[in-house]
Amino acid sequence: MKLILLGAPGSGKGTQAAYISDKYDLPHISTGDLFRENIKEKTPLGLKVKAVMDTGNLCPDDLTVELVKDRLNNADCKVGYLLDGFPRDLVQAVALDEISAPDKVINLVVDLSKIEHRITGRRSCQFCGGSFHVDFIGNVDNCPTCGEKLTIRKDDNPETVKERLDVYQTQTAPLIEYYSKQGKLININGDQSIDKVFEDIVKVL
Ligand code: AMP
């Protein structure tokens, strides 16, 4: 199965991707995570994209498509893939159709006026990859899952969130129509509990 998770920043793609990948044994490929790993390791790619990521804008299409193409060549993608955060614009969507077209596109629909709250309350664990919201775990320092220190993503601040939302609306939202025309789009209400969103996704897969 080849799946895309579409949705605004902070709509819960990463959280749902972890559940889906686990249940259906699909490799979870998050371009945001891949870029962050490259930045952490100070690779040539990481050095190229760091500044643009800090502003909330998209990394160049050619670098992003190449990154995904390489990743999809790995043996674990023989069974399919679960893409999270890719494609982010029409150029990338067309490129993916040429590389390995998706079967289904799950679009997490959330109230955009609540995105800033969803993102600025987000806490991430670099160790186990967990992502949480202070509304649910409180203002704690350590990861409720593995106990390691929680961090706030550098781009999860109010100024950058505004830019990321603009980018989403102008560049990513047109993909809803693109995949709808291909008959692949499935809308899921993302403004529900994590468990209910996952239950709705399982129903349509
Ligand atoms: P995310 O973790 O998906 O929220 O992505 C964080 C940042 O990584 C984005 O704001 C972009 O700067 C960059 N990024 C992630 N995925 C893509 C993509 N498909 N195309 C371009 N830039 C991306």
pLDDT digits (tens, 9 = 90+) for 117-157: 999 999 999 888 888 999 999 999 999 999 999 999 888 99
What are phi and psi for residue 101, nearest 5 degrees?
Answer: -65, 140
One domain, residues 75 and 131: no
Q: Which atom of ligand 1 is nearest to the CA of 35?
A: 8
Which residue has a Cα nearest atom 6 of ligand 1?
A: 32
pLDDT tens track for 4-63: 999 999 999 999 999 999 999 999 999 999 999 999 999 999 999 999 999 999 999 999
Please say whether the beta carbons of 29 and 82 come within 8 A.
Answer: yes
Q: Which atom of ligand 1 is nearest to the CA of 13?
A: 3
In-domain check, residue 83: yes
Residue type present at position 167: V
Instruction: Supply 159's token pair.
Output: 């100024």
One domain, residues 90 and 127: no
pLDDT for position 129 = 83
Please say whether the beta carbons of 45 and 38 come within 8 A.
Answer: yes
One domain, residues 164 and 198: yes
Which residue has a Cα nearest atom 8 of ligand 1?
A: 32
Residues annotated as catalytic are 13, 88, 122, 153, 164
One domain, residues 148 and 64: no
Specify the higher pLDDT residue, 127 or 179.
179
Total of domains in the chain:
2
Please say whether the beta carbons of 19 and 76 come within 8 A.
Answer: no
Find the CATH number of the domain harbouring 198.
3.40.50.300
Name residues whose C-beta falls within 8 Å of residue 17's C-beta, 6 or more positions apart in sequence: 5, 28, 30, 82, 84
One domain, residues 62 and 143: no
Domain span at residue 133 reads 122-155
In-domain check, residue 134: yes
95 touches ligand 1 (CB under 6 Å) = no
pLDDT for position 131 = 87
One domain, residues 16 and 69: yes
% residues pLDDT > 90 (the chain): 92
Which residue has a Cα nearest atom 19 of ligand 1?
A: 86
Distance CA 163, CA 165 (A): 5
Parallel, antiparallel, or unpaired for β 28-30 and 150-151?
unpaired
